[in-house]
Each structure stands twice: as structure tokens, then as C-alpha cells.
Amino acid sequence: MIGLVDCNNFYASCERAFQPHLNGVPVGVLSNNDGCVIARSNELKALGIEMGTPAFELQHLVRQKRIVLLSSNYELYGDFSARVQSVLEEFAPQVERYSIDEMFVRFDGFDTATLTDHCRTLRWQVERYTGIPVSIGVASTRTLSKLANRAAKKIPAYGGVCVLDKDGPATKGLLQRIELGDIWGVGRRLVERLNLMGIRSAWELRNAEPKQIRRRFSVTLERTVLELRGIPCIEMNDFDEPRQRIMTSRSFGKLTGDYGEIHEAIRQHGQRGAEKLRQQGSLARAVLVFLKTNPYRPDLAQYSPSLIVELERPSDDSRAILHAASQALQRIYRPRYAFMKGGVMLLDLIDTDRQQLSLLDKPQNADERARSEKLMATMDELNRKMGRGAVSLGVPTPGAAWHLRCANRSPRWTTRWEEIPKVRAL
């Protein structure tokens, strides 16, 4: 059996763990630069505030103290996610992270009759040790466990834990009520095409002929049909395909035309992209750099250039990537524009172990390659142990315009000594 553990209102719950006065208060977490709502507490949902609502449209509610809007604090959320995973690993033989707030837990060898009680204990332990409430759905496949988790979260009678038998009446009743768009991996366009075939619910998709689904759609949807029948055929590795390109970009905290500040931003994005490149074991053949002015400011001159620079040879070395990015920036930068966004994309990726040089590529000296690999491995290791940015190429200027705007970010209580909670004895 496979369980899906989903943290309830994860971002809001992380904030409440150190700010108990927020319990029962409508809380929203904002996107980068405090742009729009990306996470909501149940109380905020009850007010009818949708995901993606611009923060400026809610300022009157903030001033009336009817809601609280917070800047996103990913360092805090990432640490809480790791703590939840640690607790789960104490009570289950295998835990697979699916996202920052969702983890699959294997219950191989557990007696099905005792799974519900075990999951209730697990749920209690997670909340006791981390302060994060979770819902748990258990079934024979990942797709069914996602639906079971949905039921555990939405139907109060389950009490936060739902265990589904693949052929049980509860499973049938649940699948008959679930719409196609709520099934894992079934998007809007697929829903429209399935509707044309007369398939409108999860139960009807479960009973569709798998081979026909494969012929008319894809092997991926065929696997979904089989998973709905309780036949496991989706593994986490199915989602680990290396990316064909790596993009790192972000809007600046405020408009800037300063070359030094923009260069710092491009340098940070380039380094982050190179780290991701090494993590997935790839090399890049080219680097694209782009800048954007604000299209919603017609009073300002508009200019959104981009440029690709080919690397001398396929590389994952941060120095080579940053050199190419700097060259591209020098060529596209124009001083009289105020830019709102910049980014770096690493293109034409190949596997590190399968690289094949073309006739025009310059082979790298073996000693030089070994030194590069050792230096990059050392930098990555130090940043893993001491935190991102502990070792970097160039130091960003504090308060530069490209830094994120996060006026309402809570302290990073669990990862920064200078922001650790203080207790006063009276």
C-alpha cells in the first residue's frame, strides 16, 4: 500500500507554527515581490479570495485587519518540509518526496486492517513534533492514494485519514463523485477530449478500455486507467526525466537601469542554473540571457532583448557559464531603459556521461577538466552543508534593486541564528 501525506495549508501552517496568534485568522502568502496570493488558509478561502489575486486589491482588508498577508518565506517552508519528512521516516520504511508539502510513504508489509490506526498515530506524531497538520490517503496505487488524500482532506468523517480498498464500495462511491479534472495528471484539454467520448467521471475512466485509451491518447493516460483499477504502474522515477533546458529568472524588486545591479542579478541566476545543471548530471552547450522592461508601463521606453552565446565546449562549470552570460549581457544592455526582469537559460543540454564533441568543439585538457570538476564539487558541497550562497562567484550588494521585495516576510526562525525566536522570562 502507498500513502500520500499532504500538509494542510502548508505555507500558512508554517507561519502559524511560530505565530500562534494567526490561528483562526485568514492568512495569505504572497508570490515573489509580494505580487499576488499563492497560498491561502481555509479562513481566507472562505472569504472567497482566489489564488492569484493581486495583493494591491486586498490592501483595504489588510488595513481593516480582516486578513493578514505575508511575504513568502521559502527558507522556513523548506526547513519545515525536511522536518516533516524526518518524522515520517521514523514510522515508515520508505518516504519519497513529491513536492515541498507532499510525500509518498510506502506501507509495504503493514497489515491493511491496522493501517488506519497506524496513519492516525502518524498524523498525530507529525503535528506534535512539527506543528504542521497533515492529511493521509492510502491505497494500492499512487493515483488512488492522491484521491484518497483528497477525500481525507475534504470529508470530515474520515478524520484526516482515508484508506481505500481498490475494489471496495467506498472506492467506487468516491470515484463516481470525482470529476476527471481532479485526477492526478488529467488536464483541461484531456477532460474535454474524454468528455467527447462520454467519459465524465473517474469511475467511467476506470472502466474504459486501456488499449483504446492508449491508441486515442497516450501510454501515460493508459497507466492512469490501470492505476484507477488498483494496478500500480507509475513510479516516482517517471517524474525524474532530465530537463531539456534550465531557466532561472525572477522579477526585480524594483525597476532598475543600473548595469552593475543587473549584472549581479544575471550572475546569481547563472550560478543557480549551473548548480541545477550539475544536480541533474548535464552539460550545456549554450547560454541565453534576456532582459525585460515593464509592458504595463507605457510611459516608459520598452526594450526586451535576448541573446544566445555558445560555450566553447559543453560545460557545467559556473565560471564558463557566467563568462558567457556576461558577454551576452554586455551586448544586449542599453543604458536608457528601466528593466523589471532578467534571467538566464541554459540550452542544448546533454548528459555528462554521454557527451560527444563535434568536429568544431575544442577538447578540454584532462587536468583542466579534473580541476574544474573538483572545484565545482567542492562549491556544491559547501553550499549544501552551509546554506545556499555560502560560497559564490561574486558577492551581491545588499539592498540592490534586483533583490526580491518582501516587506512582510516572517523571520527565518529555524535556519538563521540572528533570527532565532527570543523568549523573555518575567
**More reliable by pLDDT, 423 or 87:** 87
Please tell me the least confidently modeled range out of 136-145, 170-179, 345-354.
Answer: 345-354
At 135 the pLDDT is 95
pTM of the model: 0.73
Q: What pLDDT band is residue 392 in, cutting at 50, 70 and 90?
A: confident
In this structure, the strands spanning 246-256 and 134-139 are unpaired
Residue 360's pLDDT band (cuts 50, 70, 90): low
Read off the pLDDT band of 239 (50, 70, 90): low
Number of CB atoms found within 10 A of residue 2's CB: 23
More confident residue, 399 or 23: 23
For the chain, give the mean pLDDT: 87
pLDDT at 358 over 60: no
Looking at per-residue confidence, does 151 or 360 come out higher? 151
Average pLDDT value for residue range 7-15:
94
* Average pLDDT, integer, range 343-368: 73
Quote the pLDDT of residue 326.
Answer: 94
Q: What is the pLDDT of residue 415?
A: 81
Q: Look at 367 and 289; give whichever has higher pLDDT.
A: 289
Report whether 58 contacts 37 (CB < 8 A): yes
pLDDT (0 to 100) of residue 14: 94
Residue 258 has pLDDT above 70, yes or no: yes
Q: Give the number of other CB atoms < 10 A from CB of residue 177.
A: 12
User: Of 120-124, 202-206, 410-414, which range is least confident?
Assistant: 410-414
pLDDT for the residue 354: 63
Q: What is the mean pLDDT of residues 123-131?
A: 93
Q: Are 309 and 330 in contact (CB under 8 A)?
A: no
Query: For residue 352, what pLDDT band results from cuts at 50, 70 and 90?
Result: confident
The pLDDT of residue 359: 55
Q: How confident is the model at residue 67, as a pLDDT?
A: 94
pLDDT tens for each residue of 283-316 = 998 899 999 998 888 899 999 999 888 888 889 9
What confidence score (pLDDT) does residue 364 get? 66
- Give the pLDDT score at 244: 74
